[in-house]
Amino acid sequence: MTILPRWGKRRIILASDNAKGPWGQGDGDGEGPRNPWSLPPGGRRGPAKPTALDEFLKKARGSGGGGGNGGFPGLPSGASPRLLWAIGTALLVGAWLVFTSIHQIGAQQRGVVTYFGRYAGTLAPGLQLTPPAPIARVETVDVQRVRIENFPRGDGVNLTLTGDQNIVDLTYSVRWNVADPRDFVFQLAEPEETVRAAAESAMRAVVATTTLDQALGAGRTTIEQRVAETMQAILNSYRSGVRIQDVSINRAAAPQQIVDDFNKVTAAQQEAVGAVNKARSYAQQVIASAQGEAAAFDRVYEQYRLSPEVTRRRMYYETMEAVLAKSNKTIVEPQGVVPYLPVPNARQVAEPTPAPQQGGAQ
């Protein structure tokens, strides 16, 4: 029994010109299609030309032309594959050393160096050298860029409870930068989220101790300062290496759902403040009048101490004059007093009669 290889069987099958096969017996003169794997009518074909793939494989195996260097120009003749591998490896090692040992640190950056993951130092701006990776790794940190966190993100609402049990919608922003690159790299896994969490916690803690009027009005500056100080204390306790620049409240208003009721409450508070101010003004006027009367009495008393009898009589006359000037008076005359009679021609009667001349009698 003869066992043929699998490929040999396939060649025998493909080359058979069985008339009963699917290709028939056609050879160009007969009927039916010609078997494409059978010999052409004129005999065997001539030798085929080498393809581009054959040429490439010959050069790679070093069997082609080109001076005995495997067909690759630019290399010395007789170069072996080991030399080629050595040159390639040297180029790769050189590139690895250049790209992992030389570091360009910008003017506003600092480089945090670690040796096998352990902190080894901080690189100043300029061209710096370190051992290659993976021995040393350098992470650059921008220490001058001011980062801004806005609350809330997008167009949402940020409802906060005040100390007088009211709700206020606050939108604010926090500006911060990196103060210590070492702590910033090693202590914080997510710096932005940590800063946001500290800002929200500090804002809610401060607003919870203030009233609604302070949050909406003149108390904003105080709230911003207290929030910035509280945030810095929290981040310092984490050794985060973050410095808070400032906190700015952009808008403080009542929630949209209760804005009408809030306006009514605000109007009532304004009316109450106006009534209180009016009452205080009236009280000040009454107090000023009483103080004036008391000062006048003090002056009269001083005069009374100097001359009691004269002051007493004067006070009596002034009092009687003030009382009698406002009342109807009835005068009762005592006996023996001739009443006053108004005489119209009293002037004529009072004038003396001229005496007669002496020579007139004669």
CA dist 275 and 281 (Å) reads 10
Percent of the chain at pLDDT exceeding 90: 34
Tens digits of per-residue pLDDT, 218-228? Answer: 889 999 999 99
Cβ(252)–Cβ(218) below 8 Å: no
pTM: 0.52
Tens digits of per-residue pLDDT, 179-218? Answer: 999 999 999 999 999 999 999 999 999 999 999 888 888 8
Cβ(109)–Cβ(140) below 8 Å: yes
Residue 361 confidence class, pLDDT cut points 50, 70, 90 = very low
Cβ(227)–Cβ(210) below 8 Å: no
Q: Which two tokens stand for residue 223?
A: 């709230």
SS3 (DSSP) at 246: strand
Tens digits of per-residue pLDDT, 140-191? Answer: 999 999 999 999 988 888 899 999 888 899 999 999 999 999 999 999 999 9
Query: Which superfamily is assigned to 147-253 in CATH?
Result: Band 7 domain (3.30.479.30)
Sequential DSSP letters for 52-84: HHHHHHHHHHT-SSSSSSTT-TTS-TT--HHHH
Please list, in sequence order, all residues whose beta carbon lies within 8 angstroms of the beta carbon of residue 131, skipping any fewer than 6 positions away.
101, 115
Tens digits of per-residue pLDDT, 15-32? Answer: 454 555 555 555 445 555
Q: Which of 254, 247, 154 is nearest to 201 (CA)?
A: 247
Q: Report CA torsion sign: 227, 232, 237, 238.
A: positive
